[in-house]
Every structure is written in structure tokens, then in C-alpha cells.
Structure 1
Amino acid sequence: MSAVVLRLSGFAGALLAWEAVGRSDLFLEGYFPPPSEVFPQVVAMLGDQSFLLDLIATTLSVAIGLAIATAIAMPLGMMLAHSPLMRAASRSVLEFLRPMPPVALVPLAVLWIGGGPESKIGLAVFASLWPIFYNTMYAVDEVEPLLLATARSCGYGPGRMMLRVVLPSVTPFALTGIRLATPIALSVVISVEMLTGTSGGLGGAILVAATGVTRMDQVLAIVVVAGVLGFAAHAGLEQLQRRVFGWTVAEREAAR
């Protein structure tokens, strides 16, 4: 059975289970609507201009946050990997910062930079740094020593070595880190939008739907849209990795 059929069958099974639970007596009426009520709301929302603007706001915030995090994490990871002294000196600070929940920093971010798009982008950067940074740093450790020795014998200096040998070797692993960071950034952005209520986006739309006369069908519809957005981003990055770094896939299959 192909992977596509397996994925579709798993998705269909999840929808059937959701429909059965939504129509059961486990929840009060309207508290957990089934997909037959949620998906029409998805279609209606996608035809609403204000909701599309919210969707664009969240998507742009995630994209900007990932771009900034990549621009910081990749050079930092490569630099620390090449400097054992700096790596040892910074380890305690990094291990202290990494477990911090970004959502818990919302009040501090709002005080420092306000409750607009800057705060959610800044926290998305903070949350996205770690998978990209650690994937890059440990990938540098795994660069083939023969490549480095050959480059040195050809007269490569540190800068040229970094650009021509190390960077191409670690980029596939950094892209894997970006794939891992994408759903993290998306969840952080939506959470900050919900908590601040001032920067729009999908989180703001959830907050509106859950306030006053709670519309759980709309809330779940927005959650479905967020899930599709995350899935599409992950699938797009996976296809990009396969196209640009197809040799990594071929080597992995050969190893199997």
C-alpha cells in the first residue's frame, strides 16, 4: 500500500472518529461540533476578506520570524562549533534560555516592544532559534574530515573553508531544523495573537470567536486552517529539501 493511500486512510479515519465523538453525548451541544459543521465554516471563512487578512498576517509573521531566526542561528551555530572555547563558555547561558516557554515571555515582550506584530515576531524568533541552531552546530561536528583536509591542502583559508565546504555540508541539516521550527513558530505566533488581542491574525480571530456567544464551530474552523497552514509549510519545505538536496535522500536510501 502506497504512502499516499496510508496517509489518506489515516486522515479519513480521524475525521470519522471526530464525527462520531462530536455527535455523541460526551460533550454539551455546540461544545465540540463535528467536521460536518466545522468544514462549512472553513469554506465560509475563506471567502471572508477580513479572515483572509488575518491568515496573511499570521503567515507573514511566521515567515519573518523563521527568516530572522535562520539568519541568527546558522552563523551562530557554525561559529560556536568552530570555537570550543566559546562553545563551552556559552553552553550554560544557552541551556538556560532554551527551555523558557516563549508564551510566558509575552508580558515582557509587550512591555519592551509593544503588543503589535513586533512582539509575536520576536517571540517566534526566540522559539525558532533552537532547532535551527542545534541542527547547524551538530552538523558542523559531522562534516567529513577528509573534505576539510582536502580543502586545507588546496590552500583554503578559514573564510573560504566556511563558505565552500562547511556551509554546503550543514545546509541540509539546517533546513531540517527550519522544518522542525515551523510548527513551533506557528503555534507561538497564534498564542501571542490570542494573548495580546491587538495584533490580529488567526489568534485574534480565535479570540473573537471564543468571546461572548462562543462559536466553537468557528474556533475549530480556524484551528483547522492553522493546521492546514502548518502542514502545507512543512510539505513545501520537505519538497524543497528533496529538490535542492536530493543527494541526501539518495544516500539515505542507499544506506538502507
Structure 2
Amino acid sequence: MDSAVICGVLGVIGLFCLAEAAGRLGLISTLQLPLASTIVVTAVELATDPDFLADVGATAAGWALGLLTATALAVPAGLLLGSLPPVERALRPLIEFLRPIPSVALIPLAAFVFTDRLEMKVAMIVYAAAWPILINTMYGLREVDPLAKETLRSFGFGPAAILWRVGLPSAAPFIVTGIRVAAAIALILAVSTELLAGGTSGIGRFIILAESSPEGLTLTIAATFWAGALGLLTNGLLVLAGRRLLRWHTALTEADR
């Protein structure tokens, strides 16, 4: 097993033991923070609850749809802007104005625009997740070797062929990194939208309903745990997919070390 994985597992176990000891010794009130063991038991019970699993599936579906849509829009836009500097300079002020706007702050506005909660969730995810993919794609094209581009031009290749043969492969590692960053942002927006705008399903909806139950705090933390686990799982899958798709880049990186 990889040493980094072992260290991560040991770190989680150590944190669990510290949290459990703090609760058992009275250093932290169990009214403010339930025992770590209680949270773990509740989380395991939720994993067998069909209603909660349906909520997790709804969040995951919105997350996947939003991330795929953001990728399909942001990658071509990034390639276009990165290939045409005059267009990028013209749109740069607009990009820099829209990019810093907190996506969560737009949820109330989106609630008025979209009547369907799934459409609203996907729209918010697309808005938030598109930026890291767009920016990484643009920056990736800036790292293209000028000599490689000039070589292709000397052999009569046009701009489209140069972009396909040199630009896109060079930008691919940046695009994959942008998608990984966007995946985490997309999950945050999916749960936040469910929390703030409501709906009929999702982890956020489950948390809202859990607050009114006798075990509200424990259920809320356990549901949040599974939201984090979902993020960890998706990030791991994207890392594996990136390594498989970019084997040539990994080989070059290891050869340079």
C-alpha cells in the first residue's frame, strides 16, 4: 500500500481517537458535538437507509450532470480564447468581473429564474465549475512549446491542426487538473443549492429535515460525513482516470525527476 495512503489512514484514526477521548473525558460537551463513535454508527446506519441513499443519488446525479455540462462548455471556450489572444483580451474584463462573484450568493436569484430545482442546481454548478476549467485550459495553451508550433507551420499545418496535434495534448494535464478542482466546487454547490433553495431530494434536503428530529445534530454530521466521502471518492476516481488518460505525461514527468 502507498505510504501516503497509510499516513492518511493513520491520520484519520488518530483524529477519531482524539475526538472520542475529548467527548469521553468531558473536554467537549456531547450536546455540542456528539461522540465520534456515535457519529460513525449513525453514518453506517444511513448507508443502509433507502431514503438517504436516494438523496445521495439525487445529489450525485445533479453533480455529474452539472460537471459534464461545465466541462463541455468550458473546454472549447478555453481553447478558443487561448488560441485567439485578441478575443481573450477583449473578454478578459468580463471574465474577471464574473469570476469572483460568490456562486452561493446567486442561489436566491436562481430560485426566481428556474422553477425546476434540478435545472437550478445544474445551472449553479455549471456557473461555479466552469471557471477553473476555463482558466486552466487557457493557461495550458500558453505552455505550448513555440518550437513545436513553428515546426508544424513549416510543414503546412493550419491553426486547427496545430491546436489538435500540439495545443490540446499540451493543455490536457491542465484541463484534467481544472476538472478535479471543478468537481469539488460542483459538489459544494449541489449541496448548498439543496440547503438554501430546498427541493424534493438531495443530501441538503436530508440535512434540513434532520434538523427537526431528536437526533438532528448527529444526523446532520453523519450526512455531512457522507457528502465528504462522496467528494473523496469522486476525486480518487478522477485521479485514476487522469493517470490512465495521461500516461504519456506521467511517463515524461517521472523521466525528468
Quickly name the TM-score band, shorter chain normalised. Answer: over 0.9
Question: What is aligned with 1:244?
Answer: 245
Change (3 A) 1:61 1:22: farther
Structure 1 residue 26 displacement after superposition? 4.9
TM-score (norm 2): 0.93
**1:181 pairs with 2:207:** no
Structure 1 residue 8 displacement after superposition? 1.4
Structure 1 residue 24 displacement after superposition? 4.8
Instruction: For 1:134, give the aligned amino acid.
Output: I
Question: What is aligned with 1:80?
Answer: 81
Question: What is aligned with 1:50?
Answer: 51
Identity of aligned residues (%): 39
Structure 1 residue 17 displacement after superposition? 2.2
* Moved beyond 6 Å, runs of 4+: none
Instruction: For 1:151, give the aligned amino acid.
Output: L
The Cα RMSD (Å) is: 1.7
Aligned-partner SS, 2:100 = coil
Question: What is aligned with 1:102?
Answer: 103
C-alpha contact (below 8 Å) 2:23/2:29 kept by paired residues: no
C-alpha contact (below 8 Å) 2:59/2:202 kept by paired residues: yes
Deviates more, 1:34-43 or 1:229-238: 34-43
**1:153 pairs with 2:154:** yes
| Aligned pairs (5 A) from 1:128-139 | 128-139=129-140
Aligned mates of 1:113, 1:193 — CA distance in 2: 14
Unaligned regions of 5+ residues in structure 1, if any?
Answer: none
Structure 1 residue 211 displacement after superposition? 2.7
C-alpha contact (below 8 Å) 2:19/2:36 kept by paired residues: yes
Aligned mates of 2:43, 2:95 — CA distance in 1: 41
Question: What is aligned with 2:19?
Answer: 18
Question: What is aligned with 1:112?
Answer: 113
Question: What is aligned with 1:233?
Answer: 234
Structure 1 residue 22 displacement after superposition? 3.6
Structure 1 residue 200 displacement after superposition? 1.6
Change (3 A) 1:112 1:24: farther
Question: What is aligned with 1:203?
Answer: 204
**1:121 pairs with 2:122:** yes
Aligned mates of 2:143, 2:83 — CA distance in 1: 12
Q: Deviations over 1:131-169 (max 9, x none)?
A: 111110000010111221222223222222222322222
Aligned mates of 1:77, 1:22 — CA distance in 2: 50
Aligned mates of 2:215, 2:48 — CA distance in 1: 21
TM-score (norm 1): 0.93
Aligned mates of 2:67, 2:117 — CA distance in 1: 18
Structure 1 residue 127 displacement after superposition? 0.8
Change (3 A) 1:214 1:43: closer
Question: What is aligned with 2:30?
Answer: 29
C-alpha contact (below 8 Å) 2:207/2:223 kept by paired residues: yes
Aligned mates of 2:163, 2:222 — CA distance in 1: 46
Aligned mates of 1:78, 1:72 — CA distance in 2: 10
